[in-house]
Structure 1
Amino acid sequence: MTGETPAIATSGLSKRYRGGQLAVDGLDLRVPQGSVFGFLGPNGSGKTTTIRMLLGLISPSAGGSELFGEPVDAGHVGTLTRVGALIEGPAHYPYLSGRANLARYDAADRTADPRTRAARIEHALEQVGLSNAAEKKAKAYSLGMKQRLGLACALLQPRDLLILDEPTNGLDPQGMREIRGLITSLASQGTTIFLSSHLLDEIEQVCTDVAIMSRGRLVSEGTVAGLREGLKARLVVTTPDPAEAATVLKEQGGQDVRAEGRRVDCDAHEDLAPDAVCAALVGAGVRVLSFGVERPSLEDAFVALTGEGFDVAE
């Protein structure tokens, strides 16, 4: 909603560690209420440090942040009751069961009603798919199961904002799909989701908005679709006759024609009709193994914005 107080807002947020390392550098961020907001960046880009500052776990070196319009500091800790979080690898009591871990976590929450604890724990276990493993000790949990238990902790109480740092870490493809479905369901109920991840496919599937970090700085912020709009689609031909195909593409008005191995591509501008190009290729005797238009991905946008691959570390 236009003019609505952001769920998260930062102004000049910075963190410099001892030794001079600047982990977060002047971050200005706005996360709209009700959005599923992707927080992207390679390892070492400052994502987790930012999250720790948002939750008051570490203090910024400069600047500040707000949650629902309230500053994140010692005098405004009440706002954090509206926030659930899963940060990096969640820590659990290894010799307690999953259910007992949730009970301990819930008992530490002074706002939690003990009369409804058992029902809320059962619901949280069901949401993350751990009902059948609830009595197993946490030390016997796989990495993915520990991640699910950490997410269950964040879901024990209804929250206006969920801050999730790599929530699908360690999960198999089915588990990742289930967590994405859960995120979508929670968002449809009005919960704002702040999702930090280095998995671009995950972000593209569930997020409405996105911010990209690189080396501690915010390099872009906007909708997922908006970040891709500045990139051009490519018309791609796979053929054992790349030289001949390149000639045909140029004759048909193709721009920025490139050939590498059996792949030949060019900008798929609006005046270039794919059906006419395909017919021209066949008419010229070019053997076409595959033909189509490739749309730019979020990864393409990331590389264009930062000039680096996504999996590099700082």
Structure 2
Amino acid sequence: MDGTSATGQTGRTSATEETRGTSATGQTRDGRSEGDAVVVTRGLTKRYRGGQLAVDGLHLTVPAGSVFGFLGPNGSGKTTTIRMLMGLIEPTSGTAHVLGRPMPRSARAVLPHVGALIEGPALYGFLSGRDNLLRYDAADPTADPRTRTARVTAALDRVGLTAASGKKARAYSLGMKQRLGLAAALLRPRRLLVLDEPTNGLDPQGMREIRALVRELATDGTTVLLSSHLLDEIEQVCTHVAVMARGRLITQGPVAELAAGARGRLVVTTPDRADAARVLKEQGLADVVADGDRVSAEPPARDLAEVNAALVTAGVRVRGFAVERASLEDAFVALTGEGFDVAG
């Protein structure tokens, strides 16, 4: 299904904890049964010819009803993992269960309940957008041909392509092709929707519309597994997140918990930038950075009131003093020790 549109555990865990999997009772660490998850992998590994280890012992749990963000820099193993989950490639070892069934052995039973857009849609360029969807729907043996036209019309409307539905697909922009691929994935109600970079090529308005659609699908009960290189997108739309690096799972859990696990920054707003930076260093604060009228540093372990008092005693005019919440990007850098590669 390369290039085609086809039919966690909620507590934050370290990589070491994740390799231990679930408890003997078959529950994740928040007490949720594995039966409540739509995707469960245990020790999932993929090694290509030549010894390249793409995915290394992955333990992943995607809770039902979640919007699950899948993050990682280029070469981290995200797409390889998704391809194994969809039955496109065989794992070298380990197990993957989707909708409670082993993959790829149960692909024929599972995939009719899964919508997927992986590495961009494969389209017939000489056909219109509408005719492409009619072809996709006709290829589904479970689809009722009597209601085919209605399904295609509804899918086009849902992704905002009704007006362009008669245009040949080869004339579509990248963003329009992404929308058409998403429409193909939504021709039938799905229990799981797997999206690989769904906003790729979209303008800001299109990105907002797709995010709203993902939220709507989740509200309707569809679990969404979303791979993206846009950290702000994950923060805006996802309830849970998993971070991979160099083929291994670094952590997974609720987005809010992951961001909260990274330390924020103490930010002092003052016209006396140089003096403020000097005092913060004298107080033992690390990573002091001055930028404009803001001086930031890692928060100290002791009472922040003492730091503020030291600034005032030194004659620094403090106009703002606060600890800013860590972002998901801060958490990612703290976990992986590297910046986020937008090549994804």
Question: Normalising to structure 1: TM-score of the pair?
Answer: 0.90
**Match 2:145 to one of 91, 95, 114:** 114
In structure 2, distance between residues paired with 1:230 and 1:173: 30
1:294 Cα deviation after fit: 2.2
1:32-51 deviation digits (Å, cap 9, x = unpaired): 11111011001211111111
Change (3 A) 1:114 1:213: same
Percent identity reads 64
Alignment of 1:56-205 (within 5 A): 56-205=87-236
Alpha-carbon offset, residue 234 of structure 1: 1.6
* Equivalent residue for 1:306, pick from 336, 339, 342: 336
Is the counterpart of residue 295 in structure 1 residue 339 in structure 2?
Answer: no
Moved more, 218-227 or 256-265: 256-265
1:6 deviation in Å? 1.2
1:223–1:40 CA distance, 2 compared to 1 (3 A): same
2:51 to 20, 25, 30: 20
CA spacing shift, 1:16–1:142, aligned 2, 3 Å:
same
Give the match's secondary structure for 2:122.
coil
One-letter amino acid of the counterpart of residue 155, structure 2:
A
Match of 2:303 in 1: 271
Distance 1:282 1:168, change over 3 A: farther
Matched, 1:233 2:260: no
State the alpha-carbon separation in 2 of the partners of residues 302 and 162 from structure 1. Answer: 25
Which AA in structure 2 matches 1:49? T
For residue 2 of structure 1, what is the aligned residue in structure 2? 32
| C-alpha displacement of 1:235 | 2.1
Report if the CA contact (8 A) 1:245-1:264 is conserved: yes
Give a deviation string over 1:98-129, Cα, whole Å, max 9, x none.
00000000000001111111111111111111
Q: Any idea what the Cα deviations from partners look like across 1:195-239, whole Å, max 9, x if unmatched?
A: 011110000001111100101110111111111222222221355
What does residue 50 of structure 1 align with? 81
Contact 2:175 2:202 in 1 (8 A): yes
Separation in structure 1 between the aligned mates of residue 309 and residue 232 of structure 2, nearest angstrom: 30
For residues 41-85 of structure 1, what are the alpha-carbon distances to aligned partners after superposition, in whole Å with 9 as ceiling and x for unaligned?
Answer: 012111111111101011111112011211012345211111000
Aligned residues: 311
1:186/1:75 CA distance change after superposition, 3 Å: closer
TM-score (norm 2): 0.83
**Residues 93, 101 of structure 1: 8 Å contact kept:** yes
User: Does structure 2 retain, via aligned residues, the 8 Å contact 1:38–1:197?
Assistant: yes
| Amino acid aligned to 2:335 | L
Distance across 1 between alignment mates of 2:238 and 2:114: 19
Q: 1:76 to 1:101 in 2, by over 3 A?
A: closer
Query: Alpha carbons of 1:73 and 1:259: their partners in 2 closer, same or farther (altered >3 Å)?
Result: closer
Measure the CA separation in 1 of the matches of 2:170 and 2:343: 30
Three-state SS of the structure 2 residue aligned to 1:211 is strand
Q: Which amino acid aligns with 2:247?
A: G
Q: Aligned in 2, Cα 1:254/1:215: closer, same or farther, shift over 3 Å?
A: same
Q: 1:264 to 1:104 in 2, by over 3 A?
A: same
Structure 1: which 5+ residue stretches go unaligned?
none
Compare 240-249 and 278-287 and name the one that shifted more: 278-287
SS of the residue corresponding to residue 36 of structure 2 reads coil
RMSD: 2.6
Unpaired segments ≥5 residues, structure 2: 1-30
Amino acid at match of 2:57: G
